[in-house]
């Protein structure tokens, strides 16, 4: 009998080529599938809730797979951690409802983006933060962030607008956290477009350093033109914090 398993994963994406399997390149999905097949002794398809890009991290990614193996989920989790590189850890492995699909059942995601504002880049943050040594006005950025809340067309912040899925997303929460020279941007939405968070952060930094007014973000949403928005922030500062499912 086939069972569906649900895995919670954390990973440092610095040396990985994103989530999705690529030929001859280390990816989270590829390494996880290979390890699962070695442990379970059968071909396995692993589905991830978020297809994170190269260099992007995760605190709690969710994956699902179907298996005919009777192996206990906890045993599988320990076996996978023994095979996977240290940059990828299985935090939890448990049996899920029949047909559970980590991507299709998700109802939202939370992302965080970390900016190091110090004059000199913190060497301990170099893998996990964008060093932007500008005199960023946090309150100005926070005012701009509030414009994102609600349902909007985010074409201006999509890497490839007009392709694939509709560009409308509902942002449930958008806030800024300031701690000792570090600036965190936290976003929660029902869905995210390709590069959406990184493109938003790039525009927010333009606002924070005084190159643009906070209202510019609203104008970009209305214009729906990626060419008018700011630069794309580097992937190293971006982390998938959590995937949200129906309770």
Q: Which DSSP category does 231 fall into? A: P
SS3 of residue 34 by DSSP: helix
Two structure tokens written together for 172: 């449930």
Two structure tokens written together for 90: 């299985």
Two structure tokens written together for 93: 């492995």
- Residue tagged active-site, from 12, 53, 92, 101: 53
Two structure tokens written together for 222: 């209305």
Angle between the 196-208 and 215-223 helix axes, to the nearest 10 degrees? 140
Two structure tokens written together for 27: 């990816």
Any catalytic annotation for residue 15?
no
CA distances from 21 to 25, 70, 153 (A): 8, 26, 29
Two structure tokens written together for 167: 């560009």
Q: Which DSSP category does 155 fall into? A: G
Two structure tokens written together for 32: 């996880």
Task: For the chain, give the longest Cα–Cα distance.
Answer: 61
Q: Which of 132, 126, 217 is nearest to 174 (CA)?
A: 217
Distance (Å, rounded) from C-alpha 24 to C-alpha 51? 18
The residues assigned a catalytic role are 53
């Amino acid at each position: 009998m086939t069972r569906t398993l649900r895995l919670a994963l954390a990973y440092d994406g610095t040396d990985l080529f994103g989530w999705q399997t690529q030929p001859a390149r280390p990816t989270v999905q590829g390494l996880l599938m290979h390890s699962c097949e070695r442990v379970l002794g059968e071909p396995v398809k692993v589905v991830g809730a978020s297809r994170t890009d190269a260099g992007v991290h995760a605190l709690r990614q969710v994956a699902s797979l179907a298996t005919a193996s009777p192996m206990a989920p906890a045993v599988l989790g320990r076996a996978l951690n023994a095979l996977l590189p240290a940059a990828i850890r299985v935090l939890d492995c448990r049996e899920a409802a029949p047909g559970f699909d980590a991507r299709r059942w998700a109802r939202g995601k939370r992302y965080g983006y970390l900016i190091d504002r110090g004059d000199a880049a913190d060497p301990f943050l170099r893998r996990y933060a964008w060093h932007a040594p500008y005199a960023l006005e946090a309150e100005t950025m926070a005012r701009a962030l509030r414009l994102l809340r609600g349902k909007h067309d985010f074409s201006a912040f999509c890497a490839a607008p007009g392709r694939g899925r509709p560009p409308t997303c509902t942002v449930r929460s958008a806030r800024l956290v300031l701690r000792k020279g570090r600036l965190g941007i936290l976003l929660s939405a029902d869905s995210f477009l390709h590069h959406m968070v990184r493109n938003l952060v790039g525009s927010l930094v333009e606002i924070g350093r005084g190159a643009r007014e906070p209202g510019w973000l609203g104008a970009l949403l209305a214009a729906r033109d990626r060419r008018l928005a700011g630069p794309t922030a580097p992937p190293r500062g971006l982390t998938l914090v959590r995937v949200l499912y129906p309770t």
